[in-house]
Every structure is written in C-alpha cells, then in structure tokens.
Amino acid sequence: MTSRTPLTILGEDEILFSEAISGFAKEVIAPLVSEMDKNQAYDKSLLPKLFGLGIMGIEVPEKFGGAGANFFTSCLAVEEISAVDPAVGVLIDVQNTLVVNAILRWANDAQKAKYLPMLAENTVGAYALSEESSGSDAFALKCRAEDKGDHWVINGNKLWITNAKEANLFIVFANVAPDEGYRGITAFLVERGFEGFEVGKKESKLGIRASSTAELIFEDCKVPKANVLGQVGKGYKVAIETLNEGRIGIGAQMVGVAKGALGHAVAYVQERKQFGQALATFQGVQFQVARCATELEAARLMVYNAARLKDAGKPYVRQAAMAKLFASEVAERVASVSIDLLGGVGFTTEYPVEKFYRDAKIGKIYEGTSNMQLQTIAKMVLADGL
C-alpha cells in the first residue's frame, strides 16, 4: 500500500489495480512516449497491449467480454496512464467514460450485444459532437440526418474528434429536424466502413500529440435505422449526460498530468546539487514541492468524490464541473512549477516535464472549457445553495 492512497480513499483492490496500471505504464508506455510525441501517432504495438490488459473495456459487463468494473475504476486507469503519457490517457478516457458509458446507458439490447464485445476486444471508439460552429455552443451543430425510409442519410462535418484515426466506431450527433432546434438532435452509431463516411485531416497540436484529433466528413452517409442510439430527437440528452460523466475522466487525466510532472521534479531536486547540497534541502524548493503536492491531492480527491457520486447514482454534475475546472488548473500550475524546479534542463525536450506542460493546456479546453464549468457551477450554487 502506498502512503498517498490509504484505505479511507481507496480499497485494497483499487490500490492493487492502480499499482498494476502504473507498472504497465512505466514498463510498456514510457519507452514509447518521446517517439510517439515526435511522430504524432501511437506506436503500432500499443493498442493490442491496451486491449489485452483489459483497460479499453473497464465498464463493459463480463458477459460481453469486459472487466465489469465501475466508472471509478476507469478514472483510476486514466490517472495512472496519464501520469506517464496523457496522450494515451485520453485514448482510454474517451473509450471508457464517453463511448462505453453512452452505450451502456442508451443502447438497446441488440446494440449492446453487437458493440460492447467489439469495444472490449479490439475496437476503438470516438465521440463526435463538435463542429466548426458548435464548440461550447454544442447544440448549434449543422450536421444533418434525413430519414430515407429504411435508413438515415447524414451530411456534414465534425471537427476536433479525439481517437478519430484509430476508431472504428463513432457516436455521431446530427439534427433530424433543424426547425425544432436541439429537440431534433439525434445520436447515431456510425461504423468506419459505412458508405459516405470518411476520416479527414488530422490536426497538428501543441500537446497530447500522439492522440489523433481529426475531421469527420459525411457525404450522403448511409446509417441503418437500427443504429440510432437512444431515441430520435433525444440526442441532446445523450450528449449532456455523457459529457457530464466525461468531465470527471478529464479531471482524472489532469490529475495524472500533475502527478507525472511533479514526480519527475521531485526526483530531480533530490539528485541535483547546488552550493554543495541537493536542491531538495533548500526551503524555497521544499515549499514549492509542498504546495504542488497539496494541490495535487486536493484535485485528486475532488475527482474521486465526483466519480464515487456517479457510481452511487447520486447527483454529481456540480462536483464533476468543479473537479474538471480545478484539476485542469492544478495540472497547468504544477507542470509549470515542475519546469521551474528543473531549471534550464526543464525547458529542453531531454526531460519529460516540458511535455506534461504542453499536455496540461488542453484540460481547460476540451469536454467543456473552464468558463463553461464556471457557468455550470455558478448556476447550481445560485439555484441550490452551497
């Protein structure tokens, strides 16, 4: 048992799980991180290993080939993987907290029987909501779906879709009745091989560079009637409720970012000597480490609390927004201080801390910007009290 995870926070099985995932990340992923970042792509050997480990289908029920664990366990995996490479962490996060979660909640029995075994065994999923004109204003989407009797036809584009290059299953949101506004939004399960569907340009990004972020193009894309996820015209509920859960996963990713960056800084200041003694012996350094460690622990507990509430079936939206907001801020601050503690070498690519600093920035942007989280929190506090 590690000192930072007493049984009051994690149970023994959860500690063992976290340690196992951490060991895998350090042994298997860590040697690949630098090249994947340079190449802006995952190493070809990685995906089969992630599926083999079982962390691509953590919440998938055992009868469908998954681990049958809970949402909290998914967040633990995202945290530990992100402490080594947040670009891999977001792959696991989108797979579990968005795609698998949406199918578990909204899919019918036939859809679950078809897609959950695929997601647990060898299929990467992606979540396609954002468009050029609909980022924070998610329901301003222009992607259209038309009822053709025995199938639907989707036309339009999606932008900034995580996992796009690796995915073979996409949850796509399109409006079937534009005149009805958000009440026309519908979610569809789209397979990569569907006629009229293409994955387009991959973005070159500041951080999480190995993670693919790409455009999706729909030109008279034919989707079977059986592939509507949930009810026609209820896609807005699928989107809102899934993103509320996904924000906890991003919080876990940001906790991992802070943990990874600070871990390297702590090791460095204990080895690096100036004026005849290790940097860690100087009070100014100690205070910076202490403050970072405190903020990291606070962010971790906020994420854990939100995840526990979600699993318990209790209200968690406010806590999810707070956890994502705070964890993303902590990740950026801790990564920045970690570079300071390394000094000149921290500004070079020779040490991994600069990558954590680049990776941290996305936490304030995707799955709801910090301003959107503040708005959610303020509305709930003003309406419901503290």
Mark whether 340 and 355 lie in a shared domain. yes
The structure tokens 């199938």 sit at: 151
What pLDDT is stored for residue 8 in this prediction?
A: 54
Considering the domain architecture, whether residues 218 and 135 belong to the same structural domain is answered as yes
Classify 341 as helix, strand or coil. helix
pLDDT digit of tens for each residue in the chain (386 aa)? 344 544 457 888 999 999 999 999 999 999 999 999 999 999 999 999 999 999 999 999 999 999 999 999 999 999 999 999 999 999 999 999 999 999 999 999 999 999 999 999 999 999 999 999 888 887 889 999 999 999 999 999 999 999 999 999 999 999 999 999 999 999 999 999 999 999 999 999 999 999 999 999 999 999 999 999 999 999 999 999 999 999 999 999 999 999 999 999 999 999 999 999 999 999 999 999 999 999 999 999 999 999 999 999 999 999 999 999 999 999 999 999 999 999 999 999 999 999 999 999 999 999 999 999 999 999 999 999 99
State whether 101 and 172 are in the same domain.
Answer: no
Which amino acid does the sequence have at 137? D
Which pair of structure tokens corresponds to residue 255? 């906790």
Looking at 190, 217, 233, the residue that finishes a domain is 233
367 given a catalytic annotation: yes
Q: Are residues 137 and 171 in the same domain?
A: yes
Domain harbouring 360, CATH code: 1.20.140.10
d(CA 153, CA 192): 15
Count of CB atoms within 10 A of residue 34's CB?
14
Q: Tell me the H-state helices in the chain.
A: 12-24, 33-39, 46-53, 71-82, 86-93, 101-106, 109-121, 235-271, 283-311, 317-342, 353-360, 370-384
Is the residue at 69 inside a domain? Answer: yes
**Domain co-membership, 85 together with 186:** no
Expressed as residue numbers, the domain containing 279 is 237-384
pLDDT given for residue 137 in this prediction: 85
138 secondary structure, DSSP code: G
DSSP designation for 203 = P
- Residue 67 falls within a domain, yes or no? yes
Long-range CB contacts (within 8 A, 24+) of 266-273:
268/341, 268/342, 268/351, 269/341
pLDDT on residue 168: 98
Q: Are residue 106 and residue 170 in the same domain, yes or no?
A: no
Please check whether residue 278 lies inside any domain of the structure: yes
* Greatest CA separation for the chain: 79
Clarify whether residues 175 and 269 are in a common domain: no
What distances in angstroms separate CA 355 from CA 40, 333, 375, one per listed residue?
13, 14, 30
Residues 106 and 220 in one domain: no
Evaluate whether residue 294 is within a structural domain: yes
| CATH number for 68 | 1.10.540.10
d(CA 119, CA 168): 9
Report the pLDDT value the prediction gives residue 318, as an integer from 0 to 100: 98
CATH of the domain at 196: 2.40.110.10
Domain's final residue, options 66, 91, 124: 124
Residue 332 located in a structural domain: yes
**Predicted local confidence at residue 383, as pLDDT:** 96
Q: Which amino acid is at 343?
A: G
Does one domain contain both 225 and 267? Answer: no
Do 117 and 20 belong together in one domain? yes
In a domain, 315, yes or no: yes
Is residue 4 assigned to a domain?
no
Q: How many domains does the chain have?
A: 3
Q: Are residues 57 and 179 in the same domain?
A: no
Asked whether the beta carbons of 253 and 79 are under 8 A apart, the reply is yes
**Do residues 81 and 29 lie in contact, with contact meaning Cβ atoms separated by under 8 Å?**
yes
| pLDDT for the residue numbered 288 | 98
Residue 6, in any domain of the structure: no
The tokens describing 348, both together, are 């070079």
Q: What is the pLDDT of residue 237?
A: 95
The last residue of a domain, from among 233, 263, 287: 233
Same structural domain for residues 33 and 150? no
Q: How many CB atoms lie within 10 A of CB 296?
A: 24
